[in-house]
Amino acid sequence: MEIIKVKFAAAAMAALGILLIAPAHAGKTLDSIKARGQVVCGVNTGLAGFSAADSNGKWSGLDVDTCRAIAAAVLGDGEKVKYVPLNAQQRLTALQSGEIDMLARNTTFTLTRDASLGLHVTAVTYYDGQGFMVPAKSNLKSAKQLKGQTVCVQSGTTTEKNLTDFSKANKLNIKPVVFEKLEAATGAYFSGRCIAYTTDASGLASVRNKEAKNPAEHVILSDLISKEPLGPMVRRGDDEWFAIVKWVIYGLLEAEEYGVTQANVEQMRSSPDPVVQRLLGVSEDTGKLLGLDKDWMGRAIKTSGNYGEIFERNVGPKSALGLPRGLNNQWNKGGLMYAYPVR
């Protein structure tokens, strides 16, 4: 009897093992994407470095490159993306309603957004924090010097709530001047209606570079008053699509850590490193676990580059924004970027 029990347990475990490595069903979102031949990606209406269109309608930015990598992984072509520009008020509703497949629009992960809006946060693509920009001639050096001052801010954002919290906590009686549209908020600041403008520090750098007549006349204060982990979001109810978006991002991070770049991805297929072999589908077909083919990650890297390349191209020290890598460096270089193992 004991022998039978042991054999039964072994058979059950073997069957479970087979289930655990079985190919994944594609999921309804991926089915829809394949049927239409496009990933519909919600992006910012125009935030340099993250998502902005040029005069020819060509989109670029860190969030855009993320969308392109995912399109390459699932459709084989990074150009098969439809970009839907959304303001702060529209973005979450557009995802909830199914207007877009994913939201890659410098959006902060919060408990409320993750737990009560029918949405899933995926993986962080940029660690940020809320800051303030002031005219250089104001001689302000700290956010706590804004007592009783007017601050321009966009409504419907975590930025607005953080400003209120910061003012109350420090008894500053800051007077928010609220605008629905980003352009209205920044325009009011540059026209002198407010002594300061507040948003994520990366956004401040983008706005200063793009909209200031003379960027040197505006200073971004060193204070950060919040944690703003930014990254793509998807709807709840489709775990397969959630997994795809998440693991493409982790794959881009893993590619940087192991030296796989946009330029050398084909040569790296012959690397003896087991991690690289798995990442590029040489030794194992990880794609089948996501409802994709074995070359899913290689295509994503070849399209957008690894995470470090995406960062440097769009927001890094040599870009127009000139942002330091900082918290967005790899975990083994003092940053917070840590890829889950692609295996």
pLDDT single digits (tens) 205-262: 999 999 999 999 999 999 999 999 999 999 999 999 999 999 999 999 999 999 999 9
The pLDDT tens digits for 49-58 are: 999 999 999 9
SS3 178: strand
Q: How confident is the model at residue 26 (pLDDT cuts 50, 70, 90)?
A: low
CA distance 183 to 165: 24
Find the helix packing angle between 62-75 and 239-257, rounded to 10°: 110
Mean pLDDT of 281-286: 97
Q: Write down the mean pLDDT value for the chain.
A: 93
- Per domain, the residue ranges of the chain are 28-127+230-332, 130-226
Q: Specify the CATH architecture of the domain 130-226.
A: 3-Layer(aba) Sandwich (3.40)
Write out the H or E segment, with its range, that includes residue 121.
Answer: strand 119-121
Residue 22 has pLDDT above 60, yes or no: no
pLDDT given at position 102:
98
- 28-127+230-332 is classed CATH 3.40.190.10: yes
The token pair that represents 247 in the structure block:
């693991």
Rg (CA), the chain: 22
Residue 1: pLDDT over 70: no
Q: Report percent pLDDT > 90 for the chain.
A: 92
Per-residue pLDDT averaged across 30-38, rounded? Answer: 97
Mean pLDDT for 54-67 is 97
Residue 87 reports pLDDT greater than 70: yes
- Asked whether residue 14 carries a pLDDT value surpassing 60, the answer given is no
Query: Are 28-127+230-332 and 130-226 equal in CATH topology?
Result: yes
Residue pair 170/144 in contact (Cβ under 8 Å)? The answer is yes
pLDDT at 27: 85
* Pairing of the two strands 130-135 and 196-200: antiparallel
Is pLDDT above 90 for 3? no
Q: Each residue of 118-145: pLDDT tens digit?
A: 999 999 999 999 999 999 999 999 999 9
For range 72-97, the mean pLDDT? 97
The whole-number average pLDDT for the span 325-335 is 97
9 vs 40, which has greater pLDDT?
40
| Banded pLDDT at 25 (limits 50, 70, 90) | low
Strands (E), 20-106: 39-44, 52-53, 59-60, 81-86, 102-103
